Amino acid sequence: MRLALLTAVALSALTAPAFAEQGDFLVRLRGIGVIPTENAGPISGIPTGSVSVNNAYTPEIDFSYYFTKNISAELIAATTKHEVFGEGAIAGLGEIGSTRVLPPTLTLQYHPLPDQRFNPYVGVGVNWTIFYNEKTTSSLTGALGPTVLNVDNSVGVAYQAGFDYYLTDRVFFNADVKYIQIDTTATLNSMGTINTVDIDLDPIVVGFGFGMKF
């Protein structure tokens, strides 16, 4: 009887799905919300004026690779569009510009429960944020004249926590949150008159979606 019980336990262990193993490659598709917690300084030429940046929502794809069953790396790819609004002395202008943001982020993750259906993780890594397709609005150009907006790219640290919950041995639900350091300077060039404003965007990025293990 004891031998039969031990044999059954051994067979169960052999046939149980391994939810995370060395060499596994994962692909996730998430919907994310990018929520800036910005702290913007004064505009250089308008010391009582400043700016704010709105939230954005977009699909995101990411790829993970397991070096061991406890350690993996994740690379995310997504792009968002954010509107910039006047604050303080220029609040009456409303939306003054917009920019698209491409923030590739690479994190190294630790998985404390790799053999469980519920697989939480924490991670830390580096973010490189690229700002592109910057535009100004008619309200700003009406106040300052023809104006070109440029936003500096940024490199910062990213922190992460989340979990995968396996629905099968390959398909899983994912929830993820990141805090990303994005510190930049926006420059307004109005026919040679330069105004700058330092912005610490530091967004919280919340995502939910599904993935597959290969």
Does 134 fall in a domain?
A: no
Summarised one tens digit per residue, pLDDT across range 155-188 is 999 999 999 999 999 999 999 999 999 999 999 9
* Rg, C-alpha atoms of the chain: 23
> Residue 113: its pLDDT value, please?
95
> Residue 38: its pLDDT value, please?
87
Asked if residues 98 and 82 have their Cβ atoms less than 8 Å apart, the reply is: yes
> Residue 114: its pLDDT value, please?
93
Q: What value does the mean pLDDT take over residues 75-81?
A: 95
Does 7 fall in a domain?
A: no
Summarised one tens digit per residue, pLDDT across range 129-157 is 999 999 999 999 999 999 999 999 999 99
Does 75 fall in a domain?
A: yes
Does 35 fall in a domain?
A: yes
Is a pLDDT exceeding 60 seen at residue 10? no
d(CA 51, CA 40): 6
Q: What value does the mean pLDDT take over residues 63-77?
A: 97
- Please tell me the total count of domains within the chain: 1
Summarised one tens digit per residue, pLDDT across range 14-23 is 445 568 899 9
Q: What is the pTM of this model?
A: 0.87
The pair of three-digit structure tokens given for residue 44, joined into one six-digit string: 């250089």
User: By CB neighbour count within 10 A (0-12 exposed, 13-18 middle, 19+ buried), where does 118 fall?
Assistant: exposed
d(CA 93, CA 43): 14
> Residue 195: its pLDDT value, please?
94
Does 70 fall in a domain?
A: yes
Percent of the chain exceeding pLDDT 70 equals: 92
The CATH number that applies at residue 173 is 2.40.160.20
Does 24 fall in a domain?
A: yes
- For 158, how many CA atoms within 13 A lie in the half-sphere containing its CB? 28
Site of tokens 């019980």: 5
> Residue 11: its pLDDT value, please?
39
Percent of the chain exceeding pLDDT 90 equals: 87
Residue range(s) defining the domain that contains residue 162 = 18-83+100-129+155-183+202-213
d(CA 27, CA 150): 34
> Residue 19: its pLDDT value, please?
86
Does 1 fall in a domain?
A: no
Does 192 fall in a domain?
A: no
> Residue 45: its pLDDT value, please?
87
Closest CA relative to residue 129, chosen from 158, 162, 96? 158
User: By CB neighbour count within 10 A (0-12 exposed, 13-18 middle, 19+ buried), where does 141 fall?
Assistant: middle
> Residue 105: its pLDDT value, please?
97
